[in-house]
């Protein structure tokens, strides 16, 4: 069996340290092979740690490039930057997230064959591999990238199920469930993200990269791109609204960034640290379990680093935040910038409620995001060409 994934920063760093020696040519050669749920294969399995930022892209790439040349680790670096690219792409086009949620509700209401959806979600379609991945996802909360691509392609083009309901199924079960990486990857398979360009899963490719474990029959032979109305032009990256660093503040930690020591590296102290309990803003119980376990870890780290009392874990609502700010004797709450997704929506709703009590809510965005996200205006390849310069500007290389 693959090793358990403790939800602590130390466990993320440990996994990274064990992976670093194979992040060069071994990763490039083996990353497309999915050996099945009992074997990590050539990939890092760092996604849950990166998703909740127990560890971050900057340190992952810095450690890899301390061991390998850029040329030999280029594939791994590019994959990590796919995550950054998707986050930036959605950040510049929040309407695509709203559209996904609307599509999801509309497709669910309009579903004509509920039985087909249930069969797909419970692994009872009779399609080899597909059924196994559905069960693997539900049992483990993880799928290899290639399995995610095959699964999404079969869902859309063979089973002809609505794409947004497939994306929703992933969000409800992945531990690393992420608004940007998941929605935009499903859109990419469907031919919406790069209009007209789809991903077609074939039996040969599946057999080759699963070591012959699966060779499904009856797969769609063509993948005709889905279509949609034009998407709005990218906006400028919004102001991060950081607070007055000279004034005392309450630190609010949320699941979108569980490493406040890095976000607020410049800050010496906070009046208190509070961790938000926000299960409704995560999609599934496996993600929620991982985040809940990580909260004890982050509260202890934050209290130690910022020399402040740990106010505990509180519901993310105006009443709890106002009470915590008042008890800490502050009029400002500092938190990490929340990228487009349910948490950002919740913070946007809370801000005016806090302001009406004279409490400012400020968000601090990481230098990594501020640097890379604005470049996600076009496709990945123009973005990729900026990676070496970006890594130099950020002091990674």
Ligand X SMILES: Cc1cc2nc3c(=O)[nH]c(=O)nc-3n(C[C@H](O)[C@H](O)[C@H](O)COP(=O)(O)OP(=O)(O)OC[C@H]3O[C@@H](n4cnc5c(N)ncnc54)[C@H](O)[C@@H]3O)c2cc1C
DSSP H or E run through 21: none
Q: With contacts defined by CB under 6 A, name the span among 74-82, 287-295, 313-321, 363-371 that binds ligand X.
A: 74-82
Question: Is 192 among the residues that bind ligand X (CB under 6 A)?
Answer: no
- To 10 degrees, what angle do helices 285-305 and 9-19 make? 100
SS3 of the chain: helix, strand, coil, percent, to 5: 55, 5, 40
Nearest residue (CB) to ligand X, 48 versus 354: 48
Q: Are 207 and 216 in contact (CB under 8 A)?
A: no
Nearest residue (CB) to ligand X, 156 versus 308: 156
Q: Which of residues 143-182 bind ligand X (CB under 6 A)?
A: 144-145, 148-149, 152, 170, 174, 176-178, 181-182
Question: Closest distance between ligand X and the C-beta of residue 132, in Å?
Answer: 16
Question: Closest distance between ligand X and the C-beta of residue 16, in Å?
Answer: 10
* 186, 209, 214, 283: which one binds ligand X (CB under 6 A): 186
Nearest residue (CB) to ligand X, 75 versus 267: 75
E-state strands within 158-309: 250-253, 272-277
Which residues are within 8 A (CB) of 49 and not within 5 positions of it... i.e. 6 or more apart?
9, 11, 12, 15, 16, 55
Q: With contacts defined by CB under 6 A, name the span among 45-53, 200-208, 268-276, 367-375 that binds ligand X.
A: 45-53
Q: Are 45 and 2 in contact (CB under 8 A)?
A: yes
d(CA 336, CA 268): 16
Q: How many residues line the site for ligand X (CB under 6 A)?
A: 28
d(CA 252, CA 270): 10
Question: Closest distance between ligand X and the C-beta of residue 47, in Å?
Answer: 3
d(CA 216, CA 159): 13
Question: Is 47 among the residues that bind ligand X (CB under 6 A)?
Answer: yes
Contacts to ligand X by CB under 6 A: 31, 43-47, 50-51, 79-80, 82-83, 86, 144-145, 148-149, 152, 170, 174, 176-178, 181-182, 185-186, 189
């Amino acid at each position: 069996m693959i090793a358990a994934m403790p939800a602590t920063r130390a466990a993320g760093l440990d996994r990274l340290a064990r992976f670093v020696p194979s992040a060069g040519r071994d990763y490039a050669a083996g990353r497309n092979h999915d050996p099945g749920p009992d074997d990590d294969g050539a990939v890092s399995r760092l996604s849950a740690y990166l998703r909740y930022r127990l560890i971050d892209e900057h340190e992952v790439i810095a450690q890899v490039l301390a061991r390998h040349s850029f040329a030999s680790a280029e594939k791994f670096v590019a994959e990590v930057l796919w995550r950054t690219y998707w986050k930036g792409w959605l950040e510049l086009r929040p309407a695509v997230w709203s559209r996904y949620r609307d599509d999801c509700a509309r497709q669910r209401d309009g579903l004509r064959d509920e039985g087909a959806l249930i069969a797909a979600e419970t692994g009872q379609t009779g399609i080899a591999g597909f059924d196994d991945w559905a069960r693997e996802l539900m049992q483990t909360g993880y799928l290899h990238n290639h399995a995610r691509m095959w699964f999404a392609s079969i869902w859309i083009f063979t089973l002809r199920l609505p794409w947004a309901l497939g994306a929703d199924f992933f969000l409800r079960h992945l531990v690393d469930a992420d608004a940007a990486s998941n929605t935009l990857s499903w859109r990419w398979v469907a031919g919406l993200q790069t209009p007209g360009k789809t991903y077609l899963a074939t039996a040969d490719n599946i057999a080759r990269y699963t070591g012959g474990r699966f060779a499904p029959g009856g797969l769609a032979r063509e993948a005709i791109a889905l279509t949609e109305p034009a998407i709005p032009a990218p906006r400028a990256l919004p102001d991060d609204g950081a607070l007055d660093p000279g004034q005392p503040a309450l630190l609010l930690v949320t699941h979108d960034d569980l490493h406040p020591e890095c976000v607020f590296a410049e800050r010496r102290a906070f009046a208190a640290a509070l961790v938000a309990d926000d299960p409704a803003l995560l999609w599934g119980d496996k993600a929620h379990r991982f985040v809940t376990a990580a909260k004890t870890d982050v509260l202890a780290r934050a209290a130690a680093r910022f020399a402040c009392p740990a106010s505990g874990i509180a519901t993310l609502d105006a009443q709890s935040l106002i009470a915590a700010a008042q008890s800490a004797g502050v009029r400002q709450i500092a938190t990490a910038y929340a990228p487009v997704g349910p948490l950002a929506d919740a913070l946007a709703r809370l801000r005016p409620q806090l302001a009406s009590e004279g409490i400012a809510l400020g968000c601090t965005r990481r230098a990594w995001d501020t640097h890379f996200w604005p470049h996600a205006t076009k496709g990945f390849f123009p973005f990729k060409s900026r990676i070496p310069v970006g890594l130099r500007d950020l002091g990674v290389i």
